[in-house]
Structure 1
Amino acid sequence: MNKSFSGLSLLNEKMSNSYKGLFQSFFSSKKYINVKLPYYDYLRGQVFIQDLRDNYPEEMSYSFDIGDLIHMLYMDFLQQIKRGVKNEDVAVYLKQSMEKYFPTKLIEQRVFKQVSHYSFQYEDMEEFEENEEDEEKFAYLDIRAAEKIILRGEILLYDLSPFLNGTSVTLEQLIAIIYLDFIKNVQAHGNSIAVQQTILKKISIK
């Protein structure tokens, strides 16, 4: 296995390394995964958390931050997967989300290639690259999670590969998609009491 499903590439590491004992496993139980978000959506999440603190000062932990919110949403997503969502349905969701949040643009290039000792011809080449506006700002967050939770996400993406029809998705992108879906819903419908109380309940049982 050569393809990496996150910057940490835990699945490749587990597949290529032999068991190294409980001692190493203990000290490598937590990892940081870097998630890139559009800066506005990052700020919108900060405002959402501040609204929770303002509305529920006695129930809201002051240490709870946007990294905790993203981790919570990712864990909820994994719980849904464990309940038996079809891989085909998850793949459709991810393909649509990649087009929505990580659009790519097609770049056509003409390459002059030698086809024989005396003959050359132009060949059209197509490449895809992530379409990012130069003026758009991004936030980069280090999300701390248990190694087994990160590995679970990588294994999910590996299982989904046959259904993604060539669409490449990393764990960092998956986590960003989950958060962006949540915050775009808040942006569209406002900070509803139902959503706020759902988050509070999850914090209380964390």
Structure 2
Amino acid sequence: MNSYHDVRVMKKKNSSLIRSIANKIYSSVFEVETDTVELKLRMNYVDILRGEELVNDIKDTYMDYYPDVLYLRVEDIIAILYKDFLNQLKSGNQDHKQAVNFLLQGKKEYLNEIERVKIIQQKKELQQISPNTFILDAGIEVEEVDIDDLEPCDIVHLQLEFKIRDINRGKLFLYDVEPFLENVKISIEDVIVIRYLNFIEQIRDSGNNKNVILSILRNLGYKKEAYE
């Protein structure tokens, strides 16, 4: 593929058993309520691949100690990182000015190029017709695209559900710090993506961090086997 594409990466349909286990884990961490909202997170496909490889590394390394890690997904990593951002604000470990500086730097470093591509490229929407196949509809052109054919530089939409309460907390923060944003527009989706991409950059530069990984697993509700 020679051009950028906007791809909707839909959540896979899991078996009832896997969904039940995942729901229990998610509920224990995020106190799931019936009121949730689905957001589309826009980023380069390569950064999703990096997250997926981290998930695979975690499974390979910790499966014997945390058997339920089998059900870990990159979406879980993104969700817990956003939750951590909110917790830093709630606890006072990060004040508003520090958070704003983090977001402004992150937007400049991670998102501006994606926005530039969005402006100069023809808009193309890919509709999913199977777990690994998409239909590309660009004007009169219709093309079938397999997810395995995506290039790392392609732009994708990853859809996740969040508690409305958590999203509203983030929106309130953005409203309060608007005077410090220097007329830069930052959405709640931007906040979530910046937090994730900052984490992925650290992994890319320094490699996997055992303490960080174990903290993620604990915060996601994974438990060690009894003999541990």
- The residue identity in structure 1 corresponding to 2:83 is M
2:193 aligned partner: 176
Change (3 A) 1:27 1:187: closer
Is the counterpart of residue 202 in structure 1 residue 219 in structure 2? yes
> What stretches of structure 2 of length at least 5 have no aligned partner?
1-31, 122-150, 224-228
User: Which residue identity does 2:84 align to in structure 1?
Assistant: D
The answer to whether residue 73 in structure 2 is matched with residue 65 in structure 1 is yes
User: Does the Cα contact within 8 Å between 1:46 and 1:66 map onto a contact in 2?
Assistant: yes
* Aligned 1:154-169 pairs, distance under 5 A: 154-169=171-186
Return the offset for 1:170: 0.4
SS in 2 for 1:169: coil
Match of 2:116 in 1: 131
Structure 1 residue 86 displacement after superposition? 2.1
**What displacement does 1:28 show?**
5.8
1:144-201 Cα distance to aligned partner (Å, 9 max, x none):
1111111111111111101101010001111000000001100000112222222222
**Which segment is superposed worse, 160-169 or 193-202?**
193-202
**Map of 1:108 onto structure 2:** none
Q: CA RMSD in A?
A: 2.3
| Native 8 Å contact 1:35 1:142 kept in 2 | yes
* Structure 2 equivalent of residue 77 of structure 1: 85
Query: Counterpart of 1:15?
Result: none
Judge conservation of contact 2:33–2:163 (CA < 8 Å) in 1: no
The one of 47, 52, 68 aligned to 2:53? 47
Deviation for aligned residue 1:66 = 0.9
Greater displacement, 136-145 / 26-35: 26-35
Partner of 1:90: 99
d(CA) in 2 for partners of 1:91 and 1:196? 26
Q: What percent identity do the matched residue pairs reach? A: 29
Partner of 2:136: none
Aligned to 1:167, the other structure's residue is in SS state: coil
Compute the TM-score of the two structures, normalised by the length of structure 1.
0.69
Task: Give the match for residue 5 of structure 1.
Answer: none
Structure with larger RCO (C-alpha < 8 A, sep 6+): 2
Residue of 108, 111, 114 corresponding to 1:102: 111
Change (3 A) 1:205 1:82: farther
Quick check: 1:36–1:176 contact (8 Å CA) kept in 2?
yes
Once the two structures are TM-superposed, the CA of residue 143 in structure 1 deviates from its matched residue by: 1.3
User: Whole-Å Cα distance in 2 between the matches of residues 102 and 200 of structure 1?
Assistant: 28
Give the Cα–Cα distance (whole angstroms) in 1 for the partners of residues 33 and 85 of structure 2: 26
Moved more, 185-194 or 81-90: 81-90
Once residues 199 and 172 of structure 2 are traced to their aligned partners in structure 1, the CA distance between those partners, rounded to angstroms, is 23
1:35 to 29, 37, 41: 41
Equivalent residue letter for 1:62 = L
Q: Is 1:187 equivalent to 2:204 in the alignment?
A: yes
Structure 1 residues 179-188 or 51-60, which shifts more? Answer: 51-60
